């Protein structure tokens, strides 16, 4: 039997795809053959243009995912625009940094709500549709902090640890219904979220010294893993958290 990484005839929804990892994933899914809907607050002009350049359909869904209020509308608009939904990539996320002893409730709630609560309920809404059809792929974006504690980012560490747990919990219940749920844990990737770290000379040096690959990751480094997990090639992979980290966790 031929192994297929093709997404021809598939439809995907990617959250937070205006820049960085989400943008790279959305474009890679389109290059693999999928029509793609993207949901988020910012206008994703560049991403829409890149998807269109592949010849695939692009649908823009305006939604503030800091709460679960727009969740069902996002799924409904994706289905209306694409006609089906085979893949959900939960990429939208935020980070707040502060010393542990003064970390605020507002920063805690903002990160947990966006990175964990909305992720779960958007997955739930998508899974209802996928389970009814008997197939689907849900891909959550976790983090190295799914495995580690980090420094000055307690709510982010809590949320991403939760993403790992929710991924496994969803996989257990949805696998019998033909839906695979997995996560990608990016390492230190050069995106807007890591600007503060890269601009800190000491932290930047310390991070690079630990990465066996010897460089910061690029958003495109995550895209290949996403295409694999979205494709038929990963039909027997579920409940897995795939680290794409240049070897960070191995050291």
Q: How far is CA 80 from the centre of its chain?
A: 22
Asked if residue 142 lies in contact with residue 241, where contact means CB atoms within 8 angstroms, the answer is yes
Quick one: tokens of 136? 């689907």
Torsion angle of the four alpha carbons 51, 90, 167, 229, in this order, in degrees rounded to the nearest 10: 10
Strands, E assignment, 95-236: 136-141, 179-186
Active-site residue, from 156, 188, 216, 248: 156
Torsional sign, CA 156, 227, 191, 90? negative
Say if strands 87-90 and 136-141 run parallel, antiparallel, or are unpaired: parallel
Q: What residue has token string 């958007």?
A: 122
Identify the H or E element spanning 49: helix 45-53
Q: What residue has token string 């939604």?
A: 63
What is the distance between the alpha carbons of residues 132 and 81, in angstroms, rounded to a whole number? 19
What is residue 91's three-state secondary structure? coil
Comparing CA positions, the residue from 225, 214, 222, 223 lying closest to residue 248 is 214
The answer to whether residue 156 is catalytic is yes
What is the distance between the alpha carbons of residues 237 and 180, in angstroms, rounded to a whole number? 7
- Active-site amino acid positions: 156
């Amino acid at each position: 039997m031929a192994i297929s990484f093709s997404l021809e005839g598939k439809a995907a929804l990617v959250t937070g795809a205006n820049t960085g990892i989400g943008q790279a994933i959305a474009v890679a899914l389109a290059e693999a053959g999928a029509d793609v809907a993207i949901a988020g607050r910012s206008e994703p002009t560049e991403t829409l243009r890149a998807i269109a350049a592949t010849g695939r359909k692009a649908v823009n869904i305006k939604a503030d995912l800091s709460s679960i209020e727009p969740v069902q509308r996002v799924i409904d608009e994706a289905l209306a625009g694409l006609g089906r939904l085979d893949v959900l990539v939960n990429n939208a996320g935020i980070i707040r940094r502060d010393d542990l002893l003064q970390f605020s409730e507002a920063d805690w709630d903002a990160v947990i709500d966006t990175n964990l609560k909305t992720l779960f309920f958007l997955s739930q809404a998508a899974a209802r549709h996928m389970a009814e059809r008997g197939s689907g792929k849900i891909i959550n974006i976790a983090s190295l902090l799914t495995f580690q504690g980090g420094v000055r980012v307690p709510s982010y560490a809590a949320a991403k640890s939760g993403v790992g747990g929710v991924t496994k919990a969803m996989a257990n219940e949805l696998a019998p219904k033909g839906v695979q749920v997995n996560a990608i844990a990016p390492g230190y990737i050069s995106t807007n979220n890591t600007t503060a770290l890269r601009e800190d000379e000491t932290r930047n040096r310390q991070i690079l010294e630990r990465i066996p690959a010897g460089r910061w990751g690029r958003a495109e480094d995550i895209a290949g893993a996403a295409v694999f997990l979205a494709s038929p090639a990963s039909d027997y992979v579920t409940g897995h958290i795939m680290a794409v980290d240049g070897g960070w966790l191995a050291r």
